[in-house]
Amino acid sequence: MLEAALVQRQHQLDRRLEEHHQGLSRAEHAHELRDDHDEQRQREDERDVDMALSDLELRELGEVSAALRRLQAGEYGRCADCDEPIAFDRLKAEPWAQRCVACESRRERQPSR
């Protein structure tokens, strides 16, 4: 069930990125956005939003792919920090989760480096 959800999400993200970039590289897509509009500020804002969405999708795709690799290696569902099992409800909500709730909460409270 969770493997199917991961594979489905991977395909969704692949399709969204392909549609988003229309087959262009990230740099080509940014250049196209810059050339498509007349007003400088609007072009910059749209390009920034577009690139931020692309970054989020790429990061999530990486997390999903890493979860599928962990699944194939028999390491899926174990916390990367404490090695305890990750609760099924957490994996059901976020199948690519790498940490249990306690370790993820601790990690989020730590100052950024």
Q: What digits encode the pLDDT tens for the residues 20-34?
A: 766 655 566 556 655
> For 3-12, 15-24, 59-68, 98-107, which range has the lowest pLDDT when averaged over its residues?
15-24
Q: What pLDDT was estimated at residue 83?
A: 95
Domain boundaries along the sequence of the chain:
1-76, 77-113
The single residue listed with the structure tokens 């196209």 is 32
Helix H or strand E segment including 42: helix 40-72
Percent of the chain past pLDDT 90, that is, above it, reads 58
d(CA 44, CA 11): 30
For 19-25, which contacts have Cβ atoms below 8 Å and span 24 or more sequence positions? 20/50, 20/53, 20/54, 20/57, 21/54
pTM, 2 dp: 0.71
Sign of the torsion angle spanned by Cα atoms 64, 70, 71, 75: negative
Q: What pLDDT was estimated at residue 38?
A: 55
pLDDT tens track for 47-101:
777 778 888 999 999 999 999 999 999 999 999 999 999 999 999 999 999 999 9
